[in-house]
Amino acid sequence: MKCRGFLFDLDGTLVDSLSVVERAWTEWGARHGFDAETILDFVHGKQAITSVRHFLQGASEEKIQQEFLLLEKREAEDTEGITALPGARQLLATLDELHIPWAIVTSGSMPVASARHRVAGLATPDIFITAERVERGKPEPDPYMLGAQLLGLEPEECVVVEDANAGILSGLAAGCHVVAVSPPADAPRLDAVAMVLNSLEEMVISKDGEGWVSVHRRH
């Protein structure tokens, strides 16, 4: 697989924030009469506002925005247990050393995503796309199409690195190569992704003199 740039999801791909996500959404679901399994089966990889709208169908827009802001505040302030996932820091450092462009493309809002990125101690991306920058979030193709555009690349020149169902679908719909990292057992369209990894530690990259990057799995 060859590319010119990388588009990374944040939560579950570069950063282990699962405990924070589950704490916040389980508490929110309990307040609204939803059990944890129902909530957590839906929210992963999607914008928070999308999930709030899904579970509060029929509520006023004012109520939806109010609930979203409460969730956003809760998730931005709770950073306990957040760490970089294995291989994440080294991979990003390698991209920077080789001058390979990369972006973070997350469904999280800027307050939430920036807090998690900072606590995890990750390198600063060339481009940081959060929920505020797209009208349609994952699984629609818009986030990753915008990521490619802002890197100055065509979607087919980019590798999307994702863990969640919504993100895998988004990357494929955008026309990018997709690397799925520890995807769910029921992840859709795994037959269409370029590579499935258990960890970012398995990804090996090299760059030729013309700026093309080769991506391999470590054996």
| Active-site pick, 9, 16, 78, 163 | 9
Q: Which residues pair with 158 in a beta bridge?
A: 5
Sequence-distant (≥ 6) Cβ neighbours of residue 151 within 8 angstroms? 5, 7, 101, 102, 103, 126, 127, 158
Pick the CATH number of 2-16+82-217 from 3.40.605.10, 3.40.50.1000, 3.60.15.10, 1.10.3720.10: 3.40.50.1000
Instruction: Report the interhelical angle of 48-55 vs 36-43 (nearest 10°).
Output: 140
Q: Omega of the bond prior to 143 within 30 degrees of 0, cis?
A: no
pLDDT given at position 211: 87
Q: In the chain, what is the greatest distance between 2 CA atoms, to the nearest angstrom?
A: 58
| Active-site pick, 11, 78, 142, 163 | 11
User: Would you say the pTM of this structure is higher than 0.85?
Assistant: yes
Identify the sign of the CA torsion 107, 111, 115, 117. positive
Measured in degrees and rounded to the nearest 5, phi and psi for residue 150 equal -70, -20
Quick check: 203 and 218 in contact, CB under 8 A?
Answer: yes
Mean pLDDT of 113-140: 94
Identity of the residue numbered 158: C
- Domain borders along the chain are 2-16+82-217, 18-77
pLDDT given at position 46: 86
pLDDT tier at 207, thresholds 50, 70, 90 = very high
How far is it, in rounded angstroms, from Cα 96 to Cα 115? 22
Note if 9 is an active site residue. Answer: yes
Note if 11 is an active site residue. Answer: yes
Higher pLDDT, 158 or 76: 158
pLDDT tier at 186, thresholds 50, 70, 90 = confident
Closest to 158 (Cα-Cα) out of 179, 181, 136? 179
